[in-house]
Structure 1
Amino acid sequence: MLKVQEIRELIKLVDQSSIDEFTYESEGSKIKMKKKVQGQQVVVEPVQAVSETPKPAPPSPTTSVIKKEEPKQEVKHEEVQEDTNLHKITSPMVGTFYQSPSPDKDAYVKTGSKVSKDSIVCIVEAMKLFNEIEAEVNGEIIEVLVKDGQLVEYGQPLFLVKSE
């Protein structure tokens, strides 16, 4: 069976591609993904195939991850709507969040840092590629929402910025 990280990366790739449906079968397990025509939503339907020797089916890692992550994202979305001057800098991909260019260097930004549209605020590593993430707005970092080295999801808020 695929690991949760591998499934997340498959979801990201399907979401960014022009295909509408994707099916993967391996070792008696099947994963089927469909997305809306507009490309706004990716639906993952894990399907456990019947094997010749009955085994207890482990809980689906994709189901538990999706159920745990959705409420957190909704809560943060409501917090942002309370103050219209706040902008969320979100992760453009699934990967590992790094706040500095290397472990021995200072963080790109911290709470209270002033940023411009093209300021680099962090790095998200995905498949051994280090992607620099820009602020997208002029303003001040109000809150860093993730910890250094933390796994982040596609679209997950990383920073709250009070825009100018």
Structure 2
Amino acid sequence: MLKVQEIRELIKLVDQSCIDEFVYENEGSKIKMKKNTGTTVATIQTVPQVAAQAAPMIQPAAPVAVTAAAPVQEAAPTAAENTVASQTDTSNLHKITSPMVGTFYASPTPEADVYVKAGSVVSKDSIVCIVEAMKLFNEIEAEVNGEIVEILAKNGQLVEYGQPLFLVKPE
């Protein structure tokens, strides 16, 4: 069974993402979260281990209200990306995209220097960032040899699957 802090983290991630429904099952426990018009509601259902108990226990979590600031924060990077895309010819640039939903980190630790900056030269196996999902830190590689033209995500920003993170001018 997940700990309360892990469930809160899941609620936060679902709340900040564009997905409308999330289901997690493990060892007879089931967590189902749905977004409904501005709120996220989590339901935890535990399947009893003893056959004598016929009814499952249902423990609804407190609804998490989505503040008006959350959609504005999500919309701002999108508008910035559209502006940058219209100003820069991206047809010859390679996009390094996020392979998962998670949190973007530009450096291995808060105190360390960033992996890459605009103008940095990278090779295929160069680590350009970390995407953290469910407390797992996944190192993202450049995929191509070239020069970083632009960093499209901000440190600590929630990123979606397939979201462009970097623009690279291939060699």
| Equivalent residue number for residue 132 of structure 2 | 125
2:13 corresponds to 1:5: yes
Matched, 1:140 2:147: yes
Correspondent of 1:108 among 102, 105, 115: 115
Alpha-carbon distance, 1:159 to partner:
0.8
Q: Note the C-alpha offset of 1:80.
A: 9.4
Q: AA paired with 1:138?
A: N
Indicate the SS of the match to 2:155. coil
Q: Secondary structure at the match of 1:6?
A: helix
Aligned to 1:39: none
TM-score normalised according to structure 1 size: 0.58
Give the gaps of 5 or more residues in structure 2.
Answer: 1-9, 23-31, 40-64
How far 1:75 moved relative to its partner?
2.9
Residues 99 and 161, structure 2, Cα contact 8 Å, conserved in 1? yes
- CA contact under 8 A between 2:17 and 2:160: conserved in structure 1? no
Query: Percent identity between the aligned chains?
Result: 60
Determine the C-alpha separation between the residues in 2 that align with 1:145 and 1:154: 14
Any idea what SS the aligned residue of 1:100 has? coil
Correspondence for 1:84 among 87, 91, 94: 91
| SS of structure 2 residue aligned to 1:141 | strand
Other-structure match for 2:51 = none
SS in 2 for 1:75: helix
Deviation of 1:7 after TM superposition, in Å, equals 5.7
Query: Once the 2 structures are TM-superposed, how far is the Cα of residue 83 of structure 1 from its aligned partner?
Result: 3.5
Bigger mean CA deviation after superposition, 95-104 or 78-87: 78-87
SS in 1 for 2:137: strand
Letter matched to residue 144 of structure 1 = I
- Judging changes above 3 Å, is the alpha-carbon distance between structure 1 residues 83 and 74 closer, same or farther for their aligned structure 2 residues? closer
Q: What does 1:25-64 correspond to in 2, within 5 Å?
A: 31=34, 46=36
Q: Structure 1 regions of 5+ residues with no counterpart? A: 15-23, 26-30, 32-44, 49-57
TM-score (norm 2): 0.56
Distance 1:134 1:122, change over 3 A: same
Instruction: Provide the rounded CA distance (Å) in 2 between the counterparts of 1:95 and 1:124.
Output: 6
